[in-house]
Each structure stands twice: as C-alpha cells, then as structure tokens.
Amino acid sequence: MEGLAVENLVVKYGNVTAVRGISFDVKPGMLTTLLGPSGCGKTTTLRCIAGLEKADSGSISYDDTVLSGERQHVPPNKRQFNMVFQSYAIWPHMSVFDNVAYSLRIRKENKETTKEKVRKALGTVGLAQFEDRYGTELSGGQQQRVAVARAIVSSPKLLLFDEPLSNLDASLREQLRIEMVAIQRELGITAVYVTHDQLEAMSMSDEIILMRDGVIEQQGSPSDLYKSPTSSFAASFVGVTNMLTARLREVDSSGVARLEGDDGEVIYASGDQLGGVAPGTSVTVSIRPHDIGIDERLSGGANHNRWRGTVERALYVGTHVDAWVNVFSKSVRITASPQADLRPGSAIELYADAANVVAFVDKETSTAEPSEVRSALPNQA
Ligand SMILES: Nc1ncnc2c1ncn2[C@@H]1O[C@H](COP(=O)(O)OP(=O)(O)OP(=O)(O)O)[C@@H](O)[C@H]1O
C-alpha cells in the first residue's frame, strides 16, 4: 500500500495505556488529522509515527516498508519524515536562512542547491525577505513559518504537525491555517496533523481521525463527521448540536425512521444508522441548530418534523441569531437569520427534515438522563 499504514498500535507508559490498538491509513498527498480531547493519545501516536516513541505492539509502515514493528525500529532521522512543533523550535542564534538550511548542510548538499532550495522554501511560506533575520527578531507567526520552511525544504515523505498553531492568537491561527493547507496542497505532501481544535480539523483535513481514550471513535471526511456522527461524543465534539434521547418505532421503506421522544413526541429522523435495530431500542438523536428552520416557505425540503414551541432567549451575534426554543419541555438551540423576530415568550414553529436529523444507538445512551438535551444549552455553547 502506498502512503502510511498504522496497524494495531499499542503504547503504554507504565500502567497507563495511551494508545489501545489503533489502525489507520494515510493516503499519499492527503492531510489526515488526529483530533480529540487532551490525553486521548494523539501526540503519542504522532511521536510513534515520527519514531520518537517506541510502540509496545503493532506496526507502522510507509510505502510497504516497515518502520516500527516487532523487531524493527527505524530511527527518526532515517524515516525522511519532518515535524513541526507547537513550540516552533527554531534556533534563535541562527539566521532564518541558516535555520532552514540546517538539515541540507547536515546531508552535505552542495552550496548552490542548498541556496536554491532554502530560497524556494522561504518563498513558499512568504518569508523571502527575511532570510538574514534572527529567530529572536521574528513574531510567533513568522517563527512558525520558518519551522514550516525548515520542514519542507528537504522534501520529506511525510510532514507531521503537532498542534502547530496553538501558541498563536485567533486571527493569526486562521491565516496560518489557510496558508498551511495551501502549502501542503501545492507541494502535494502527505501530512498528519494533530489538534484538539475541531474548527482547525474541519477546515484543514481531507480525513479526520477522532480519538478518545486511546481508541478511534470515528473516522471520515470532515463532512462525514459533521453530518453523520455515530456517537454522542462525535456529534458534540465536532460542532454544536442538540442531542435528545428517544425510542425507535419503525424505519419506513423510504429510510425515514419514526422515533418517540421521552415526552411522547414523534421525531422523524434518517434511518441510515438504524438498519437492523429493533423497535423499542433507545437511540440518541442529534440535530444541528442550523438544520432547524423557522419559516416553512424558506426551509424547503420535506419538513417531516413540525414542532410548536416558545422562544426562551435569543442572542444576536451579527451574522445570525442563536436562539433557544422550548419544545416538548426541552430547550432546543436554533440558528436563525438576523432578521428573524424571536422575542422571548413568542410562539414559534420549527421545521426539520428527517434527512438532517441523525439517530444512532449510542454507547452512552444508558447513562443519559431522560428528557435531556445536551450540548446545545446556552451555558455550554
Ligand atoms: N511520557 C509519558 N509518561 C507517562 N504518561 C504519558 C506520557 N506521555 C503521555 N502520557 C499519557 O498518555 C496519555 C495520552 O497522552 P498524549 O500526549 O498522547 O495525549 P494527547 O491527546 O496528545 O493530549 P494533549 O492534547 O494534551 O497533548 C495521557 O493519559 C498522558 O497523560
């Protein structure tokens, strides 16, 4: 297989098992993100790929060559992988040029080729004018660009990013997010990116591997994870959602599931994840706030769900209004247009197509409190 293959990777630190037998592939030219909360094993996995950490079992291969295996451990400097760290890790006493040229000089690349490659890498990250500056004379964003130039200058097989934007302020983070993806796409470099920031993962990745407690919770494209979460953890980690509990009544021949909520209300949902699930089974329902319409004419589609409710509160945030509506004794979050008239206490009708209402049998359903709407409550927003 071309690209990176991680198989049954297990990593233990004393009696802590940080990674519990995960497997995944990274196809050539793709940017794959390991996403998850603190302590879920992302960095440990990345460090194993880099060769900085030894696995207890499992294997890591690139283009069918085993790099880490039962009797094999190719050292980091022999893997042709480069890493960009959160801390930039550039040498302050060296010029930008020397920082980027370092690995080429170690490899005894000739002077002219070194100059050409360093200048090209600095041009790619937008620092062509900065080659004589020292590390201490650069902003955080510029230092991270140097780190990226240093990582790409030797044309590695794989680029590894360990939370590279975490130390930057929000606007710089957004700018560098765009730049890094553009560089990765332009060079066609295969990349593995670690972050706990779902927005970063969603906007940058071809593929997201969502991790939790050392295992893979769900894997797929950003839109797969957003539109079709398979657990309440995935639904709430990637984006804002309304989650409620219900029971399956039936899935009709067109694939629409009829559910009964905790207050006896009927909810129509997509039956995509309910094949083979017995009627009466407890399911979790996830509905994104922007998939709930308040104007029947504008909401289009089938509008299987029509619920009457009362506006509890509305927060104007410029681009839209975040509002909470009491429906069947639950507080449901919606996203409405800034023009919407959503005075607290006013009656309102909500519409949602079954196709946008995701239902799944959740690992955590048994621990969920009845009539609970999680994740979208204002104090958690
Ligand atoms: N050197 C170590 N010694 C002991 N335990 C460790 C070590 N490194 C990591 N761990 C533990 O392994 C688990 C996974 O850690 P890891 O750093 O891979 O998680 P992470 O998802 O990258 O978290 P973060 O986003 O906070 O960096 C955690 O429980 C952590 O405490």
DSSP 167-182: TS-HHHHHHHHHHHHH
pLDDT per residue as tens digits for the range 76-124: 999 999 999 988 788 888 999 999 999 899 889 899 999 999 999 999 9
The 3-state DSSP class for residue 11 equals strand
Q: Residue 296's pLDDT is what?
A: 65
pLDDT at res. 369: 41
* pLDDT one-digit tens code per residue, 339-351: 988 999 999 999 9
Say if residues 296 and 275 touch (Cβ distance below 8 Å): no
Q: What is the pLDDT of residue 301?
A: 67
Name which residue sits closest to atom 4 of ligand 1, judged by CA. Answer: 13
Q: Which residue's entry shows tokens 């990013």?
A: 161
Residue 40 CA: which ligand 1 atom is closest?
21
Higher-pLDDT residue of 259 and 170 is: 259
Q: Which residue has the tokens 């509305």?
A: 314
Instruction: Specify the residue with its C-alpha closest to ligand 1, atom 22.
Output: 43
Q: Which of the 8 DSSP states describes residue 355?
A: G
Instruction: Report the distance separating Cα 225 and Cα 229, nearest Å.
Output: 5
Mutate to test the pocket of ligand 1, among 6, 11, 16 (most ligand atoms within 8 A of CB): 16
Residue nearest to ligand 1 atom 24, measured at CA:
38
The interface predicted TM-score of the complex, written ipTM, equals: 0.96
Ligand 1 centroid–CA 11 distance in Å is: 10
Question: Residue 378 above 80 pLDDT?
Answer: no
Pocket test for ligand 1, best of 9, 13, 46, 237 (most atoms within 8 A of CB): 13
pLDDT above 80 (res 272): yes
Cα–Cα distances (Å) from 358 to 24, 100, 286, 310, in that order, read: 25, 48, 5, 24
Cα(249) to ligand 1 centroid in Å equals 43
Ligand 1 in contact with 43 (CB < 6 A)? yes
The token pair at 339 is 């023009």
Residue 104: φ, ψ to 5°? -70, -40
Domains and CATH numbers, the chain: 4-228 (3.40.50.300), 240-360 (2.40.50.100)
- Per-residue pLDDT, averaged over 230-259, amounts to 95
E strands, the chain, in order? 4-13, 16-26, 31-35, 57-62, 65-69, 72-73, 81-85, 158-162, 190-195, 207-212, 215-220, 242-251, 256-261, 266-270, 282-287, 305-316, 321-327, 330-336, 347-352, 357-360
Q: What pLDDT, on a 0 to 100 scale, did the predictor assign at position 364? A: 67
pLDDT value of residue 171: 83
Helix (H, G, I), strand (E, B) or coil at 342: coil
CB of 333 closer than 6 A to ligand 1? no
In this structure, what DSSP letter does residue 95 have?
Answer: B
pLDDT average, residue stretch 149-162: 93
Nearest protein Cα to ligand 1, atom 20: 39
Given this model, what pLDDT does residue 197 score?
A: 94
Residue bearing the CA closest to ligand 1, atom 30: 39
Mean pLDDT in residue range 244-260: 96
Spacing, Cα 38 to ligand 1 middle (Å): 8
Structure tokens at 14: 């004393």
Ligand 1 contact via 195 beta carbon (within 6 Å) = no
Least confident of 131-145, 245-259, 297-311: 297-311
Mean pLDDT of 256-269: 94
The CA distance from 237 to 225, in Å, is 10
What whole-number distance in Å separates Cα of residue 194 and Cα of residue 42?
6
Atom of ligand 1 nearest to the CA of 43: 22
Burial, 97: exposed, middle or buried (Cβ in 10 Å; 0-12, 13-18, 19+)? buried
pLDDT, residue 367, reads: 40
> Is the CB–ligand 1 distance for residue 39 below 6 Å?
yes
Averaged pLDDT of the chain: 91
Mean pLDDT of 124-139: 90
Determine the distance separating the centroid of ligand 1 and the alpha carbon of 12, expressed in angstroms.
10
Q: Is residue 86 lining ligand 1, measured as CB closer than 6 Å?
A: no
What are 175-224's pLDDT values in tens digits?
889 988 999 999 899 999 999 999 999 999 999 999 999 999 999 999 99
- With vertex at residue 338, the alpha carbon angle to CA 357 and CA 377, rounded to the nearest 5 degrees, is 45
What is the side-by-side strand order in the sheet with 330-336? 330-336, 321-327, 305-316, 347-352
Integer angstrom CA distances of residue 305 from 9, 91, 204, 271, 328: 44, 59, 34, 14, 13
DSSP lists the bridge partners of residue 257 as 251, 269
Residue 152 — φ and ψ, nearest 5°? Answer: -95, -15
Query: Residue 92 forms beta bridges with which residues?
Result: none
Q: Whose CA is nearest to atom 12 of ligand 1?
A: 18
